[in-house]
Amino acid sequence: MLEPKPFLRWVGGKGWIAPLIKRISEVSEHSIYIEPFLGSGAIFFSLRPSRAILCDVNKELISAFEVVVENPEIVFTRLSRMPISATDYYLVRESKPRSKMGIALRFLYLNRLAYGGIYRVNKDGMFNVPYGKKFSFGDVISRSNLCSSRDILRAAIIRSQDFRATLSKVPRSSLIYVDPVYTSGKSERFDRYTKESFSMSDHQDLANLVTAAVLEKNATAIVSLPYDINFSTLYIGGLWVGLQRGNKFGIRKEKNMPYMELIWIGSAFESNSDLLRIIRSFKSKADLKILGFTSKMLSERTLQSWRSRANTL
Ligand SMILES: C[S@@+](CC[C@H](N)C(=O)[O-])C[C@H]1O[C@@H](n2cnc3c(N)ncnc32)[C@H](O)[C@@H]1O
């Protein structure tokens, strides 16, 4: 079987941290993998677990995953017959299909051709990203990639639901990867995923549910968060890891601006040395460097000292 690649373009896609999550997954003794904020499913595609629960609040996105599982050949054939041009893009954008297949095809079409692969809706929930001047759907929309995606997705339960529904019923000993919307509170984000914005009170609910899954259900949870001290008080105990993404492209490279994020790992196995051994021994990749880690409460000073190690990728 060909190794399937994510068939969606997704701003904030986490392919770059997949090597680290994969290493952690190898030592966590889990019975099922859970992603409450699926997006393109970059981590799921990298781990290829034998049992999974994959959820996202975006119904159209979930329809796309469902039709790929149900009939990848028809998805490929019908998508390849759709014409590509600016006029066609805006016609598809204005359309309101009703069937699950129609909704999924429109979603995939717009996702592959929209400017920057951005998913953004206005306050009425209407997708409003302009045409990205692309003239093909790209290699991942191929019969073979969609069929191999179906093969691994068949092992998963796929649902459109809010993270609260997903995390309030986690099976015992799950591995949970959590990649929420990065609320900044300062400005309207360019990648608004839903008509409701994701608030700090959503982040608080999320932290409570994740912590309960770790403490009461023996889960291992890995949470991606912005490099921002304001998130540090939401998660207690566990291990904080500072990460830098490689600056290979674009304005960040030109301005030498490092891109950094945090992950918080809460786990029953944090007490033994496996997790620390993995973090210590993890070798930087072209796209990923560990800046530092601590099992203490995160402070602004720690974030600053890690920041000083950035930019040497
Ligand atoms: C940062 S993206 C996840 C990206 C993903 N990790 C990847 O690699 O592609 C966040 C996702 O959360 C979804 N989302 C937003 N609010 C949500 C909510 N309340 N419950 C569940 N999913 C939500 C969005 O639709 C979006 O797909």
| Nearest CA, atom 4, ligand 1 | 39
Mutation to probe ligand 1, out of 9, 57, 200, 245 (largest number of atoms < 8 A from CB)? 57
Cα distances from 302 to residues 20, 53, 234, 286, 310, in angstroms, run 21, 35, 17, 24, 13
Closest atom of ligand 1 relative to the 198 alpha carbon: 16
CB-based contacts of 180: which residues, under 8 Å, 6+ apart?
37, 163, 198, 202, 203, 206, 223, 224, 225
Q: Edge-to-edge, what's the strand order for the sheet holding 32-35?
A: 156-160, 52-56, 32-35, 174-178, 220-226, 259-266, 239-245, 288-294
What value, to the nearest 5°, has the Cα angle with vertex 25 and ends 227 and 236?
A: 45
Cα–Cα distance for residue pair 97/22, rounded to 1 Å: 38
What would you report as the CA-atom Rg of the chain, rounded to the nearest whole angstrom? 20
User: Coil, strand or helix: which one is 179?
Assistant: coil
pTM to 2 decimals?
Answer: 0.94
Which ranges of 82-197 would DSSP assign to H, the alpha helix?
Answer: 86-94, 100-113, 143-153, 163-167
Closest atom of ligand 1 relative to the 35 alpha carbon: 6
| Nearest CA, atom 18, ligand 1 | 162
Closest atom of ligand 1 relative to the 58 alpha carbon: 25
Cα–Cα distance for residue pair 230/299, rounded to 1 Å: 10
What is the 163 CA–ligand 1 centroid distance (Å)?
9
Q: Give the closest residue to 239 by CA, choosing from 194, 190, 272, 206.
A: 272
Q: Would you give per-residue pLDDT tens digits along the chain (313 residues)?
A: 679 999 999 988 899 999 999 999 998 889 999 999 999 999 999 999 999 999 999 999 999 999 999 999 999 999 999 999 999 999 999 999 999 999 999 999 999 999 999 999 998 889 999 999 999 999 999 999 999 999 999 999 999 999 999 999 999 999 999 999 987 644 444 455 666 679 999 999 999 999 999 999 999 999 999 999 999 999 988 999 999 998 655 555 556 678 999 999 998 765 567 888 899 999 888 889 999 999 999 999 999 999 999 975 4
Assess whether the C-beta atom of 198 lies below 6 angstroms from ligand 1. yes
Complete domains list, the chain, with CATH = 15-58+156-307 (3.40.50.150), 66-147 (1.10.1020.10)
What is the 237 CA–ligand 1 centroid distance (Å)?
25
* pLDDT attached to residue 256: 65
Assess whether the C-beta atom of 117 lies below 6 angstroms from ligand 1. no
Please check whether residue 54 is in contact with residue 35, taking contact to mean a CB–CB distance below 8 angstroms: yes
| Nearest CA, atom 2, ligand 1 | 39
Assess whether the C-beta atom of 57 lies below 6 angstroms from ligand 1. yes
